């Protein structure tokens, strides 16, 4: 059966294919680092794996480990994690039109949002535009589920199999996922992605000097939006007038 006759199957297979390689290696390595961090903080293996499955956002996971290790109350943990996780809202809102099949809210969209990560967001924003609409949701699901499965595997490896590995080396693996996302945006054919990366790389650290958490949210929104509008302006100036 041709891919045109079955775009959903084609999208799912392509999503799995695209996930294997640098995305899976980056996510697995980063979660190995998280597993090391969780073990050093005194979490048990079950809580470590459940936290990956239910939270699935590295900044929130790192905040979770720090709060639990500090003995914070469950209410404080919940409120703090919600505040940290709020930064993912613009990412989810911008990705949803790329993968939903019909207008309006569907309960399945909650699952889509739960599976979203910066890696899958960049992937669906860039690759999704080249796919048929019917292929986008299966592509996203296959890509995201593969990352989640290998992320859980990585967390278990980091927790259980790296006891003799120097802690600094294990924690350094956390940097691989943001490095992959940055490289993907840098090689994107879209000018807006490149401008957002450059502006954000300069502006977000400056905003974080003002406030570590709010500066990241504010800077990401402002400089990402600035990159989009600057790219639109450049495209309008470069297009021939009719």
Q: How far apart are CA 207 and CA 211, in angstroms?
A: 7
Residue 1 lies in a domain: no
63 and 141 both lie in a single domain: yes
pLDDT tens readout for residues 22-52: 888 888 888 888 888 888 888 899 999 999 9
Band of the pLDDT at 241, cuts 50, 70, 90?
A: very low
Q: What are phi and psi of 163, to 5 degrees?
A: -65, -30
> Which of 31-45, 52-66, 139-153, 197-211 is modeled with the greatest confidence?
139-153
Number of domains in the chain: 2
DSSP 180: H
pLDDT-wise least confident of 17-21, 117-121, 233-237? 233-237
40 and 114 both lie in a single domain: yes
126 and 234 both lie in a single domain: no
Last residue of a domain, one of 172, 187, 202: 187
54 and 169 both lie in a single domain: yes
Distances in Å between the Cα of 52 and the Cα atoms of 45, 65, 132, 147, 215 are: 11, 11, 31, 11, 25
pLDDT tens readout for residues 189-208: 567 667 777 887 788 788 87
């Amino acid at each position: 059966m041709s891919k045109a006759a079955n775009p959903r199957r084609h999208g799912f297979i392509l999503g799995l294919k695209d996930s294997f390689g640098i995305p899976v290696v980056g996510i697995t390595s980063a979660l190995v680092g998280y597993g090391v961090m969780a073990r050093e903080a005194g979490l048990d293996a079950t809580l470590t794996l459940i936290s990956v499955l239910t939270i699935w956002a590295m900044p929130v996971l790192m905040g979770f480990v720090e709060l639990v290790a500090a003995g914070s109350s469950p209410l404080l943990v919940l409120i703090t994690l919600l505040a940290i996780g709020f930064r993912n809202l613009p990412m989810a809102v911008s990705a949803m039109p790329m993968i939903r099949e019909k207008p309006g809210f569907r309960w399945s969209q909650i699952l889509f949002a739960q599976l979203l990560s910066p890696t899958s967001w960049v992937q669906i924003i860039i690759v999704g535009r080249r796919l048929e609409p019917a292929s986008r949701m299966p592509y996203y699901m296959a890509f995201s589920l593969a990352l989640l499965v290998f992320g859980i595997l990585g967390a278990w490896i980091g927790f259980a199999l790296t006891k003799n590995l120097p802690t600094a080396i294990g924690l350094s693996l956390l940097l691989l996922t943001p490095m992959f996302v940055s490289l993907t945006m840098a090689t994107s054919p879209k000018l807006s992605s490149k401008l957002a990366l450059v502006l954000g790389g300069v502006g977000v650290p400056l905003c974080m000097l003002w406030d570590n958490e709010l500066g990241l949210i504010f800077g990401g929104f402002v400089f990402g939006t600035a990159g989009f509008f600057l790219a639109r302006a450049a495209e309008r100036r470069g297009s021939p007038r009719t």
